[in-house]
């Protein structure tokens, strides 16, 4: 389904990802966890080719791209792979000058050239799915952060991507608002949506993900089921990291 092989990403002299390989099965949910600066967001952006890997290969649903230092890949080949994924960002990134439903239909009408009526039907079905059909014609600025993120999830799902990539989807939200986003993502997981999420939110990761990968210093430190990683990590670095998350969760009154 999704295969990353020997991914390396360098920014100048700084190597952010070092020889990262992983595969994600269709219908599974994978959590990327680890300390800040460990490479989680960069790896997620490499899957979507918002960042172009320095070396390695990315394959999604049979479309594969290989990367080598100094060799440019074509925009067409990038778009071929990118069309399989939808991205949900930490800070929502909604268009402020478009209504909620226009935010969801924008990609369908401008990129995929869908007729407006068909795009609107698809958008309304998705807004209904995330519990916001009644907010279709309002401006994003009138919504809470949790509602804005749910609109962003609807927008990412609009073109029916093979995989949903979520970059810290709850980190900009208060715990009570993040709960509504966790509920929506949990529902998508139950429906078999393939997801990869970079997150510090232990509640999100432990409730939704069936697999977890711990990234630290640009390398995969540990992989396993999310239950095993969060309850009985093997590596010392993982144990230290999970201990900090558990402590923060208790500070915020969150159980796992």
Sequence spans of domains, the chain: 1-21+48-73
Q: What is the pLDDT of residue 256?
A: 39
pLDDT of 248: 64
- The total of other beta-carbon atoms located within 10 Å of residue 75's CB is 9
Q: Which residues pair with 8 in a beta bridge?
A: 55
Spatial contact of 165 and 194, defined as CB atoms under 8 Å apart: no
Give pLDDT, residue 251.
Answer: 40
The contacts of residue 223 (CB under 8 Å, 6+ apart) are 22, 211, 212, 213, 214, 229
Picking from 178, 216, 223, 245, the residue whose alpha carbon sits closest to that of residue 40 is 216
Three-state DSSP at 11 gives strand
Q: What is the separation of C-alpha 217 from the centre of its chain, rounded to a whole number of angstroms?
A: 20
Residue 254, exposed/middle/buried by CB under 10 A (0-12, 13-18, 19+)? middle
Tokens of 214: 């711990």
Q: How far is CA 236 from CA 38, 221, 241, 243, 244, in A?
A: 16, 10, 9, 11, 13
pLDDT in tens, the chain (256 residues): 899 999 999 999 999 999 999 999 999 999 999 988 899 999 999 999 999 999 999 999 999 999 999 899 999 999 999 999 999 999 999 999 999 999 999 999 999 999 999 999 999 999 999 999 999 999 999 999 999 999 999 999 999 999 999 999 999 898 888 999 999 999 999 999 999 999 988 888 888 999 999 999 999 999 999 989 988 989 998 888 888 877 665 444 444 3
The answer to whether residues 190 and 222 touch, using CB atoms and an 8 Å cutoff, is no
């Amino acid at each position: 389904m999704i295969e990353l092989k020997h991914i390396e990403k360098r920014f100048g002299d700084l190597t952010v990802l070092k020889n990262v390989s992983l595969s994600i099965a269709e219908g599974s949910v994978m959590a990327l966890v680890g300390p800040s600066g460990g490479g989680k967001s960069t790896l997620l952006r490499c899957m979507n080719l918002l960042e172009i890997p320095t070396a390695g290969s990315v394959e999604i649903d049979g479309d594969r791209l290989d990367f080598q230092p100094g060799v440019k890949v074509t925009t067409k080949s990038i778009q071929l792979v990118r069309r399989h994924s939808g991205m949900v960002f930490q800070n929502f990134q909604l268009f402020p000058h478009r209504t909620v439903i226009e935010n969801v239909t924008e990609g369908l009408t401008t990129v995929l050239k869908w007729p407006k009526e068909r795009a609107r039907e698809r958008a309304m079905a998705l807004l209904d799915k995330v519990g916001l059909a009644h907010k279709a014609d309002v401006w994003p600025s009138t919504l809470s952060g949790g509602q804005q993120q749910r609109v962003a999830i609807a927008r990412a799902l609009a073109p029916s991507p093979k995989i949903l990539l979520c970059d810290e989807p709850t980190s900009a939200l208060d715990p009570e608002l993040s709960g509504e986003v966790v509920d929506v993502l949990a529902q998508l997981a139950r429906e078999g949506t393939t997801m990869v999420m970079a997150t510090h939110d232990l509640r999100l990761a432990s409730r939704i993900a069936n697999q977890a990968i711990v990234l630290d210093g640009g390398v995969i430190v540990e992989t396993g089921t999310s239950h095993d990683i969060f309850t009985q990590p093997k590596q010392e670095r993982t144990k230290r990291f999970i201990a900090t998350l558990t402590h923060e969760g208790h500070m915020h009154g969150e159980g796992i």
